[in-house]
Every structure is written in C-alpha cells, then in structure tokens.
Structure 1
C-alpha cells in the first residue's frame, strides 16, 4: 500500500470512528462499504480540494468517478431540481467511470476543504481484476441508485407538468375573462354595438394598421324618440334602439363599424370611395326604418330616423368627422326628420 492510499484509509477510519457501521451500505445511498472504499483508495489517486472549487459543470463530458475521503461536495442539478450534499465515504460521477465520456447532469462544487479519490474510466478493468465480486456488487448498487434517481426525477417532472398544465388552465381562464371584460368595456350593453369608448379604441388600432384612403360617415338620430318612451314605456324604447342597431349591423361590411354613441344617437363608419356609396348606405337605413314603421303591431318597432352623411378625411380626427356629419344631421332635423342630408367635404361648417 502506497503513502497516498494509507492516508486515504486513515481518513476513512477517522470518519467512521464515531459513526454507525457501514459494512453493508444502503443501496439507495452513495455510501461505500469498507471493502469498496479500500479497493477504490488502492487503485485511485488522492486529490486535495479547496472550498468553492468546481470539479465539473453540468453538460460537460466526464470519465472520472470521485469518492469523498474528507470534506463536503454540493451537487446542483439546476432547473429548480433538488440538489444534493455528499460527505465522507460517498461517491459521485460513477457513470463516467462505468461508461466513459458521460455528460454530467450536475455542477459539482466543494463546500469545504477536503480530500477526494479519483478513478478514471481506464482503471475500471483494474478494479474488476482486483475483486470482480466486490465490483459486481458495487455496479448493482450504482445502477439501482441511477434508476432510483431517474424515477425520482420523472416523478418531479410529472408533478411540474401537472402544475404547468394547471397554471396554463388558470392563465387561459384569466385571459378569457380579461377578453370578456375588455369586450364589455368596448360594447354597448343594450345593442351589442361598439360604444363610444369602443369606437375610440377601434380608431386607435385602425390608425396603427393604416387607415383606408377614403371613408364615409353616417350620423343617425331617432326622431321623436322621447315620445315613444313617454307613450309606450322604456322597454319599447329599448326595443326600438335594438331595431336601429340591427339595421346598422345588416348594412355594415367586415371593414365597417357601427356604434351607439349614446342615448338614441348612432353612427356608421364605412369604407367608401364616393358620395354615391355613402348615400346608398344612408338611404337603406332610412328606408328600412320606414318599412318597419309600416308593419302592423300593437307597439312601435321603429321610429323615423334622421341621417347626416359625408365623406371624411382619414388624415383628420374624429372630432372633425363628427362635426361634419352633425352639420348634415342638423339640417335633416330642421327639415322634419325621416330623411338624409349630405354634407359636402369642403363645405363651410356652421356648427359643431
């Protein structure tokens, strides 16, 4: 026995002097039996380590197994996995000894000054030649330990997957609720059209994506709506407002926007190239309302509509568009309602 081996055996004896017997090590632990330790100390080389010294990093290739003669080693597996702290007579990195060029699964860092036994893959055959029965027993324990570690890892990963699925379900539910809440914020509760806030947000998004070159705007107001509420009640008045919303929904295309601005005032913003296109929309709205009014029913389904129509300049803002359409609506109201009035794009506005 050489001097290094004698020193390693002495370290082993010093460690076990006040400890329970390790003659038959637990297969689930990394503690060596007395005979295994003596064999590894005889074949291996001693290596002194200092606190904080890195023995290897996760992902590196390794061909060496280490046995701790004195000191403490921390193994960090990363990714929120539970690490391990190993002490005297415990081993790690055994797959490097058994198969060579094994990818390390953890960082190994010295937690204190100490002494290690190193055994390289090339020395595995010498171990077998010295004591094949002992090495065979060690191999069975080492393999079982690897299997137990893998099973533990699989259980942890399964729990993490379940937790991740639960978190994703919660995130989906929260996102769905958020989308519903945002939709409620944008939408008029009675008619399900966009409200004024929804219109503002839509125009902001529209400008980010790029506005069409030419658009038209209809500003719609219910004639004598207060009379409907006073004579038939607010439920009938609500039904009339829903009827106006249905007319606007029926005429609006996928790129158009119908909105209830508040009370009995609505608007329809559409993509349109010229006056004729805008007026077709406006005439349809007024004539459809007139047709509903002629239907025989105990309570009114609709009331007359006044409409102000115009083309709008995409480079200007909503206030300019509204003022222009409102001028036409004002003239329609002065003429008795139930009609459409066009406001030229370049006409001087008399009111806003």
Structure 2
C-alpha cells in the first residue's frame, strides 16, 4: 500500500509538469489557438464522445472525471488536455470534462496544429514528447492501480476462502457430537430433512441402541469410564456404517444407526454383529469397563405407514428398543 502511495505521489508530481505548457509553448499555442470562453458548470465533452481537438486552460479551471473509481484531475492555467483527440484518428474521449469556474480556454484542431508545425517545429516536437510522456505515465499509473487492485482482490478472496472454511468447520462442529465424533441429534435431524425432501427414506432401516446398565458404570467407575464406553460404542458403529449410512449419538447413552436400503437380511446381520461385538468387548476387559452389552430396537421404513412421517418410524423403533430392555438387554427386537 505504501509503495503504491509513493508511486502515485511521484507520478502526480511528474504528471503535473507533463500536463502543463511552459512559457514559450503557451505563447505559441496562444497565438495559434482559438479562444473559447466557457461558463462554470458547462460540459466540454463526455466519456465516449468523438474528439478532434485539444484544449489549454488560459484561466479558470477544468475537472476531468475518468470514472470507474479512477483518480480524477483538476486542471489549472497552462494545463492542456484532450490532445489524443487531435493526435489519434477516431479517438473517443476517456473522461468527462466540466468547467469548474468561468474560464477561458484555447482550442486547437487539425488546422491549428499544422500552423504550429510550420511556426516552430522544434517547440512542437518538445510538446509532443511531453504529451507522449504523459500517456506513458498514465499507463504506468493504471498498471500500478490494477496490480494493487488485483492484490486487494486476491486478499479479499483469501479472506473469503478462510471465512468460508471456518464457517464450514463451525457448521460441521455444530452437527458433531464432541465426545464421540459421531453425528449429533441436530445433524441427524438435518440428514432426515434432506432424505424426506428427496423422498428417499423408504427402504432404510432405523436402529436405536442403548448401553445396558450404563448408569451403574458411571456410579461405580466414574464418568471417565462412562466416556470410554460411549467412545467404544461410537467406534463400533463407525465400523459397521457404510458410506451412505449415518451413525448418531442422540444423547446420553442412546445411539442411532440409519442404514440405507440394506434389506431385512443384511440389516439383521449388521445388528447381530453389533450385539456380538459388544459382548466380546465386555468379556475382554474385566478391570475398567470398555463396553457394555446393548439393547437394540429396529424397524424397516417402508414409506407407507404413518403417512410417511418420521415420528411414526422413530416410535416403532423406540417400542422395539423398550421391548429389548424389558427382556433384560443384550438382545435385538424388531417391530415390523
């Protein structure tokens, strides 16, 4: 930013000298040019107008507006402008020019320029060098501004990407259970909303799971032991969940597994594997408990009963889970 500011300041200083006629040049232009008196507020030309003349400020002032948030200019006596309209055929004006106070201008067209060439070709060549120098300075300033703008845009894009990434992470955290890393109840609800909107719930299998006698573990071994059991449960569900399935901790020691189109036989195999794996973990760790046996309630979602409402299917799986718990746990109950 400081480099650009220094460049613009230096360029403004050079541009000021490049944009004004010296005393000899002004005297010659005043002899040849047509005097034009213009009132304050009058437009000399607008951006996009065809130009075939240049101007010199004799007294008063003119403001140039280049638009597109480019820096404008205020011209004082002896400043010249609009020369490209004279030097380049079919040139379109690149700025709006408005008189800021009652002013007197010199106007020079092609005829006047030919007279200048005959009167003092050396002085005219000096002016042309100055005019070309100003064009070069303007191009350099434009390139510097564009580079600075590109850096600003790149910085804004980097900031936007960083913010978007942070928002994605925040949103993911809001859908994730902190202890187990599984989807939480909110994330599960959002997943269900998408499935319901797509009409894709039919064929899923809903499985609710509870850790048997979990409160006893917390009371006997402490909450850290209880946390280890919940994490073991999460690892077990992650191991059986496919890419299109979703494993969720609904809260406390209640978990959920939603299988996408597995078929009854495959779903029964998966639930059986979960129960048997939990039993093995219970038998393996006799000191600090790493796992409990499980009560599981499951139902097929056929998309017809209960008018397709999710609460209907959750209620059925919950009833099956209650039956499993009443049977002493460590078992699977289905409600079809």
The normalised TM-score by structure 1 is 0.81
Structure-2 residue corresponding to 1:244? 233
Write the distance in 1 (CA, Å) between the matches of 2:247 and 2:266. Answer: 16
Shift of 1:294: 2.9
* More displaced 10-residue stretch of structure 1: 300-309 or 314-323: 314-323
How does 1:253-292 map onto structure 2 within 5 Å? Answer: 253-272=242-261, 274-292=263-281
> Does 1:152 pair with 2:152?
no
Which runs of no fewer than 5 residues in structure 2 stay unpaired? Answer: 1-13
Shift of 1:163: 2.8
Distance 1:26 1:146, change over 3 A: closer
SS in 2 for 1:266: strand
Structure-1 residue corresponding to 2:171? 182
Preserved CA contact (<8 Å) 1:96 1:121: no
Structure-1 residue corresponding to 2:207? 218
Structure-1 residue corresponding to 2:330? 338
RMSD: 2.6
Structure-2 residue corresponding to 1:322? 314
SS in 2 for 1:72: strand
Shift of 1:218: 0.6
Preserved CA contact (<8 Å) 1:279 1:309: no
Shift of 1:242: 0.9
Preserved CA contact (<8 Å) 1:49 1:114: yes
* More displaced 10-residue stretch of structure 1: 324-333 or 197-206: 197-206
Structure 1, residues 257-282: CA drift from partner, whole Å, max 9, x if none? Answer: 11100000011112126433432332
SS in 2 for 1:229: helix
Structure-1 residue corresponding to 2:218? 229
Shift of 1:233: 2.1
Distance 1:331 1:77, change over 3 A: same
- State the number of aligned residues: 320
Preserved CA contact (<8 Å) 1:100 1:121: no
> Does 1:132 pair with 2:117?
no
Which runs of no fewer than 5 residues in structure 1 stay unpaired? Answer: 1-24, 345-352
Distance 1:99 1:293, change over 3 A: same
Distance 1:208 1:84, change over 3 A: farther
Normalized per residue, the structure richer in helix is: 2
Shift of 1:313: 5.2
Structure-2 residue corresponding to 1:82? 71
Structure with greater contact order relative to length (CA < 8 Å, sep ≥ 6): 2
Distance 1:188 1:296, change over 3 A: closer
Shift of 1:309: 0.7
Shift of 1:209: 4.9
Shift of 1:339: 1.2
Preserved CA contact (<8 Å) 2:51 2:85: yes
SS in 2 for 1:112: strand
Shift of 1:86: 1.2
SS in 1 for 2:226: helix
Preserved CA contact (<8 Å) 1:306 1:329: yes
The normalised TM-score by structure 2 is 0.84
Structure-1 residue corresponding to 2:4? none
* More displaced 10-residue stretch of structure 1: 124-133 or 309-318: 309-318
Write the distance in 1 (CA, Å) between the matches of 2:309 and 2:46. Answer: 61
* More displaced 10-residue stretch of structure 1: 196-205 or 26-35: 26-35
Distance 1:27 1:110, change over 3 A: closer
Shift of 1:122: 6.6
Shift of 1:137: 0.8
SS in 1 for 2:179: coil
SS in 1 for 2:193: helix
Structure 1, residues 317-346: CA drift from partner, whole Å, max 9, x if none? Answer: 4322321210110111111111111111xx
